[in-house]
């Protein structure tokens, strides 16, 4: 069975040049549980109501999703795009919806 599309986070350097791409081909169950919690914490907030604790929780989650790929808080602070950071959480939730959607036919 082929793997699903990977979750991707690009890192950028000076002049917006792509310097590295982090990928995750599968999502462990524990990461879905954490995504649900994170989504409840920040999912419906407007950006201007985000608190520093929300940003710290998102950063920690991203570092855990891409564990083993040498991500640090400083790297994410300086090289990650805000839209892509938020899309990582959405991608995990989307993968879960795809496998948990009862309207989809069962996999062979």
- Sorting pLDDT into bands at 50, 70 and 90, what band is 90? confident
Return d(Cα 108, Cα 58) in angstroms, integer.
Answer: 35
Residue pair 91/7 in contact (Cβ under 8 Å)? The answer is yes
Averaged pLDDT, 66-84: 94
pLDDT at position 75, please? 96
Return d(Cα 15, Cα 99) in angstroms, integer.
Answer: 39
pLDDT at position 3, please? 52
- Sorting pLDDT into bands at 50, 70 and 90, what band is 61? very high
pLDDT of residue 38 exceeding 60, the answer is yes
Averaged pLDDT, 10-20: 95
């Amino acid at each position: 069975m082929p793997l699903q599309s990977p979750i991707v986070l690009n890192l950028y350097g000076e002049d917006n040049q792509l310097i590295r791409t982090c990928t995750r081909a599968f999502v462990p169950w524990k990461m879905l549980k954490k995504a649900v919690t994170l989504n409840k914490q920040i999912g419906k907030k407007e950006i201007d109501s985000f608190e520093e604790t929300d940003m710290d929780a998102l950063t920690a989650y991203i570092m855990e999703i891409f564990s083993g790929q040498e991500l640090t808080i400083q790297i994410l602070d300086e090289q990650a795009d805000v839209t892509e950071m938020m899309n990582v959480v959405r991608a995990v939730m989307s993968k879960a919806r795809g496998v948990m959607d009862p309207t989809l036919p069962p996999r062979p």
